[in-house]
Amino acid sequence: MDISLPAIKERRRVFAKAQQELGMYRTAPTKLVSAQQLEHDCQVEEMNQKLYLLWQESADYANEEDTLVHYTGVMGFFGAVLSLVLLWYSAEYYDTPIGGLGQAVIALSFCSLVVAFIINFMTASQSAVFTKKCNAIRQQARQNLTPQGSPPVNPS
């Protein structure tokens, strides 16, 4: 969970920040003539459409993401329980060779933790992809929508 949760939170923060910035561009007082204002409004709507399509794509993934985070927790818990059983077993039967069932439990314990890591890594990677795409839209909006000679919108 330490891998995917920060990436998920960052993705959500970047999307919220992009919406906030777009709102500032939409309501920013400008001294444009009507043709320039119309072009500016069209550019804002274009950025809004790009952001909305990306948000829609990421919203579809968010449902999968919640399921994957749930399975990560289940697999981690399962691996922890198996590890405790193995710890007890090794303490109880210290001098006894490990049988086939014991070896299977050891393999299952390691596999559950590997699966949890893989799920976590995939979730973090996909969140990072959406974050990069959103940041690219934000950068494009800053370049296209900031009037010449005015300070750019705070990118943080």
DSSP calls for 29-72: -----HHHHHHHHHHHHHHHHHHHHHHHHHHHHHHHHHHHHHHH
- pLDDT above 70 covers a percentage of the chain that reads 87
Beta-carbon contacts of residue 68 (< 8 Å; ≥ 6 apart): 4, 119, 122, 123
**Cα separation, 100 vs 89, whole angstroms:** 13
Q: 93 vs 25, which has greater pLDDT?
A: 93
pLDDT of residue 30: 61
Instruction: Round the average pLDDT of the chain to a whole number and report it.
Output: 79
Q: Is the pLDDT of residue 154 over 80?
A: no
